[in-house]
Amino acid sequence: MNGPIHVVWFRRDLRLRDNEAIARAAIGDVPVLPCFVVDPWFYEQPEISAHRVRFLFESLADLDTNLRERGNQLYIFSGTSVAVLQKLTQQLQAQGYRPALFFNRDVQVPYGVDRDRAIARLYREQKLPIHLGLNYFLQPDGDRRSEWRDRYYSYLRQPQHPTPKCIVSPNPLTLDIPQLGIPQLSFADLQQKYAHLWENGTDFFRGGETRAQAALGSFLESRYQGYHWKISHPWLTQRGATSHLSPHLTWGTISTRDAYQRTKARAAELADNPKATFALKQFRDRLRWRDSAAQRLYLDPHCVHHNLYPEFDDCYTETLPTDVHLNRLQAWQNGRTGFPLVDATMRQLRAIGWTNFRMRAMCATFLTINCGISWHHGALHYMNCLVDGDLAIDHWQWQAQAGITNPLAKTFRIYNPTKNLQEKDADLRFVHYWVPELRGYSLPDLLAGRYLGKCNYPAPILDWNATRLINGKRVSDLRAAVRDRLQHDQQHGSSSEYLRAAKAKEITEKYRSAKDEQFRAYKQQELALGLNRPGNADNYLPGNKNHQRTYEQQELTLDRERVEPDES
Ligand SMILES: Cc1cc2nc3c(=O)[nH]c(=O)nc-3n(C[C@H](O)[C@H](O)[C@H](O)COP(=O)(O)OP(=O)(O)OC[C@H]3O[C@@H](n4cnc5c(N)ncnc54)[C@H](O)[C@@H]3O)c2cc1C
């Protein structure tokens, strides 16, 4: 009898810091077998993205390095997750070990939910220990939804799980892992097996816990400055004005709690700088939105795949109505719509797998409202490109931008790409970077269409105003129909859907007024401290005083900005 062995099954929690499963498994001197299963199912899904796969493999390599520094390594097995873990468990038992399984709960597609259930059943049937941890805060039951926020913050404030200093490795004399008969992959094998994905990836976002820590470090060091207003500018965000942590949070190379606690600590250091503390507060809100999106999918796994309200089922379907729509979809995907900011964004998305929130939202309303194409197509294309692709956020956001969510609000937002170009990329740095055909043309040239017929850049594929009026009205009418039904149901005793919608509206309004209040308070504090002069040093536009002034003036318009919270 060889005694106990702790199998740690990594999934989207590819870190050692604040990782409940590894922290608990590594206590004491029981050998630990850290593993990741490359399950072909995930690589055959329509949502697959080369950027994401590459980021995953880099994160695995970094995890392996960090485990080796602690005396262990990462074992990468290949096969169906359930079959691999079943065989591993059997083989370990055959070799005289008593395995205990450790892994962290995660939000999953139905395949993942079934997989986890099957594995938990296997362990319970065999009376083997199984330990489920939390990757980030998840409330297991839906009954106490109203308590989510309090419980969430209480979790965030708790001490992090300690990072193991040493992780005991299985004794090679008693356990020969290659002999277990489970297909194993080296990093070279991974790259070869998935070469078609690997080669298409990019270096813009690199995976791994080490890089996640570096990204958070540099963000809190200086990149956070002006976060709250730079966040909407595509060029500044490409250059690092937001954290760029999204792929890390998606793959769990950093925990939300870690990011939150370090941000809080930094805000405490900067307590006498109202602008900095305001910026960091806006950032922390977004960390919560991430986790609340995950929570929503966890409690309601179907919410992101179907129209939230059936009134939209004829409007938003998975079939493309006509060839005109197909052509529009292709133009949108390829960055050839003739709307410079839309095209720059779509090319950026394809090239680096990322773009900022506003550009994602703007291109989403362009596709759904202006092109009249269902959000399903856009959401899938985003998932095929995004390095941070996360169904819980992506598919929900697409429904939100398509005008489906929060129907009790009388209005919904349609982004105007021309207005955004004037306000968010007036110097055309972003457009010129991604749309070389337009280099040499100024903003007035673009607005007057002076490039038309003179370069290889298309004329607009549609009339923005006309499509906004027609399709916007259609969506607006459907929202009114949802509203009427919910109100009718509520008056006739069936109120659960109405109450949920009312809660969504309340959360949105509360967030807006709290943010406006925080903004006013920060401006007043600055005034009191004599700090209301234009501009802290701008990291992203070195030496360009004109831009600095322009951007700072835009900051003053922040209280008119409407960045929707995403936790309703
Ligand atoms: C149509 C659409 C699809 C989107 N799809 C995704 C997606 O698949 N994965 C994803 O991580 N984000 C998605 N977002 C949200 C947002 O655009 C990205 O999280 C953000 O741009 C990532 O950059 P960052 O890490 O520098 O963000 P920061 O501004 O530094 O924000 C910090 C973190 O907060 C979280 N966050 C920020 N905004 C949101 C939001 N609106 N909702 C939930 N969490 C948020 C992210 O984890 C992000 O890393 C989507 C937005 C839209 C409009």
At 243, the pLDDT band (50, 70, 90 cuts) reads: very high
Q: Is residue 131 very low, low, confident or very high in pLDDT (cuts 50, 70, 90)?
A: very high
- Residues 33-57 have a mean pLDDT of 95
Give how far Cα 167 sits from Cα of 5, 20, 71, 88, Å.
12, 14, 6, 20
State which residues form the domain around 521: 209-303+513-560
Q: Are residues 219 and 254 in the same domain?
A: yes
Nearest alpha carbon to residue 265 among 212, 213, 221: 221
Do 297 and 323 lie in one domain? The reply is no
Own/partner pairs for 218-225, CB < 8 Å, 24+ apart? 219/243, 219/244, 219/245, 220/262, 220/263, 220/266, 222/539, 223/539, 224/266, 224/276, 224/279, 224/280, 224/283, 225/275, 225/276, 225/279, 225/536, 225/537, 225/538, 225/539
In a domain, 568, yes or no: no
Q: What percent of the chain has pLDDT over 70?
A: 93
The lowest-confidence range among 177-191, 340-354, 387-401 is 177-191
pLDDT reading at 53 higher than 50: yes
pLDDT of residue 545: 38
Would the CB of 297 count as within 6 Å of ligand 1?
Answer: no
Q: CATH number of the domain at 386, please.
A: 1.10.579.10
Closest among 523, 543, 520 to 531, alpha carbons compared: 523
- What residue's CA is closest to ligand 1, atom 29? 242
Report which ligand 1 atom has the smallest distance to the Cα of 356. 21
From atom 39 of ligand 1, which residue's Cα is the shortest distance away?
Answer: 286
Domain membership flag for residue 169:
no
Rounded to two decimals, the ipTM of the complex is 0.99
User: Are residue 375 and residue 455 in the same domain, yes or no?
Assistant: yes
The pLDDT value recorded for residue 200 is: 67
Q: How far apart are CA 201 and CA 207, in angstroms?
A: 11
Whether residue 8 contacts residue 35, with contact meaning beta carbons closer than 8 Å, is answered with yes
Same domain (yes/no): 469, 378: yes
> Minimal CA–CA distance to 167: which of 70, 290, 275, 41?
70
Beta-bridged to residue 100, according to DSSP, are 6
Cβ atoms of residues 364 and 422 within 8 Å: no
The tokens of 468 are what? 């906004």
pLDDT tier for residue 228 given thresholds of 50, 70 and 90? very high
Indicate whether 540 and 518 sit together in one domain.
yes
Long-range contacts: 529-532, Cβ < 8 Å, 24+? Answer: 529/272, 529/274, 531/274, 531/275
Cβ contact 551:225 at 8 Å: no
Q: Check pocket membership of 565 for ligand 1, CB cut-off 6 A.
A: no
Q: Best substitution site from 51, 357, 398 to test ligand 1's pocket, by max atoms within 8 Å of Cβ? A: 357
Assess whether pLDDT exceeds 90 at residue 141. Answer: no
Q: Which of the four pLDDT bands, split at 50, 70 and 90, describes residue 50?
A: very high
Label residues 282-320 b or e (16+ Cβ within 10 Å = b).
bbebbbbbbbbbbbbbbbebeebeebbbebbeebbeeeb
Q: Within a domain: residue 67?
A: yes
Same-domain check for residues 253 and 151? no
Question: DSSP 3-state assignment of 38?
Answer: strand
- Mean pLDDT of the region 392-410: 95
Q: Please tell me the least confidently modeled range out of 187-201, 381-395, 404-418.
A: 187-201
Q: How far apart are CA 22 and CA 519, in angstroms?
A: 41
Distance, in Å, from the CA atom of 462 to the CA atom of 448, rounded to the nearest integer, reads: 16
Best residue among 288, 352, 393 to mutate for probing ligand 1, ranked by most atoms within 8 Å of CB? 393
What is the model's pLDDT at position 201?
66
Q: Is the per-residue pLDDT at 255 higher than 60?
A: yes
Tell whether 504 is covered by a domain: no
Q: Compute the average pLDDT of residues 384-393.
A: 96
Indicate if the pLDDT at residue 549 is higher than 80.
no
Q: Are residues 470 and 490 in the same domain?
A: yes
**How far is the centre of ligand 1, averaged over its atoms, from the C-alpha of 320 (Å)?**
28
Identify whether 178 is part of a domain. no
| Domain-located, residue 567 | no
- Three-state SS at 9: strand
The pLDDT of residue 552 is above 60: no
150: domain CATH number?
3.40.50.620
Question: Do residue 28 and residue 48 come from a single domain?
Answer: yes
For the CA atoms of 180, 185, 186, 188, the dihedral, rounded to the nearest 10 degrees, stands at: 150
Work out how many domains the chain is built from and give that number: 3
